[in-house]
Structure 1
């Protein structure tokens, strides 16, 4: 496998030199703040920050950190700009459609601030590149939209004791937190891998990732410059929650059940959480690919979406909608029938089969077959 290296053409070399006159003028409004000053600006100049994901969150994060004078930014994203991105990813324009997000973002940020080093990697974060990207930086910004990436970031950052800023958005709400491994971790907050819709699936108001992304940038600047915001007097990790125009804050504590924080396990023990939906815990006889679905007898196949009704209404590929929570009590087996279950990523359809296997004990006798669509809708859409 070829090594993935961030592209840094055209960026300024990273260094720890003193602020020059031009930099002092550029960042004067920050330097004027008593809690910030020249020392805070110098710390920003010396910092190396990794931004993972250049979507609705990553765009404002990257813009504010570049404008604030963070000395070295590495931008990581394997996706291309699409028309539907422009409603919230305000760093991009129509002329950028089909171009890689990390590369275009880097080009635009260099135009905004030539005094900082900006690197880009046209790839998504994965177990193969995570360590090399994370271990040499001072702070990681999670601007992704899935639990697999967040768990990977959390576990690798915990291994190297590197802080990171988590955020997520959906609809009219969002949340963000500075995760300092010495206090608690993401697994303390979300101990189990969850399949939740992202903004691509369930929608989001464009201003919400702007607000939450700005909050991420503020948390990052506060941490890197070693300032102390009035609402961040505690050193403990805090989760900042936005619901409409209402905000609240929750202090996060280390969970006694967290294997990462309590040293019982390391990132190596959670490799399955880092892989996305590349494997299934089901027997292969229950797994079917998108290509093989075409070979099923349509008259003997019942298609069932086990997602929530709102998810089904937003987008579906047909069939009945029976949410996983009511599947056991709702569905009755029929002889000589193929039941094809699908969801967003394949997790819930796998669970559906596990539930029904235990309940429908005469599957083989009745020629009843249970199938989970591999990778779910994410595999194709």
Structure 2
């Protein structure tokens, strides 16, 4: 058998019985894919890891808590032998051979009738890499090839042209807090397939340099208190390019729906009858404090966190924020777009009962090479922000979590 290569094939297991012997780490790794394939899974094992037991508790698999016995493979289409009981493994393997059931053995691949490939997934495509020659089997090399192909598909460095007709549409992509590595896998793939990218200043700008020359990049930068592209103009640009049948990505910083006007754009597209896909992004409200060593929640310190916009001062009639109520909360307050208003915000919080000694951190250019953290208190943050020349974009964190260091000191 070793003189001939293995024949690769995809098994359609929906509703078909699969028997798994052993509930240890191997089964824990293999079961999720079998569940996703829709298989009728029967686990036979006296014991199981907590994760495998949870699969049984939720009804994803049927668990018979006992050792293997002859006849357990009756009606099976596929069997995975992942037991440490060598005698049971041999007996089950022999039963599978008699009943012509394809059998994978984690203990002895050479004695198996089927091998499990190293698999990965990217947008509806499964990549399976299999060493067909048993004499040169190297699982690490196989997995490395799998990882390289999947990563290339995900980040756009390996592009396979689509042979189907492209449907006009828009993708509102959250680019994350700034570090290009923090965009989602789906967001990066859509960027690689785009004909037009309409990008914000706060999006991961480094990714634009990776786009092919034919991609049109439109600057929708909204520089605070300076030049900006009106929202209506952005909406019109999205609609115009989509109607031309182009693949358009609206690249935004953070998450499109967290102070990103993403819903305004989605509504404008809906009114124009244009399909819109929303790709969530990592919000700076959580990621930037984390990058600066600040947990927005911490056991025994903060059981909740609140995110507010600080672009309007507390005494401005346009403000929709209930600052008196926020001052009474004991958790963490995260303020976005509030650098130039932080003095008035701090005064309002203190006036409504917040301790002036409450720690405050301002994290500028979070997750990028230019990141810096400036610490203060509510009593001093207005002056400190000016003296330290803190500039947008910056995330402001108010609360005792600011003083929680990497060693747990408060």
**TM-score (normalised: structure 2):** 0.28
Higher alpha-carbon Rg: 2
**TM-score (normalised: structure 1):** 0.30
Relative contact order (alpha carbons < 8 A, sep ≥ 6): 1 or 2 greater? 1
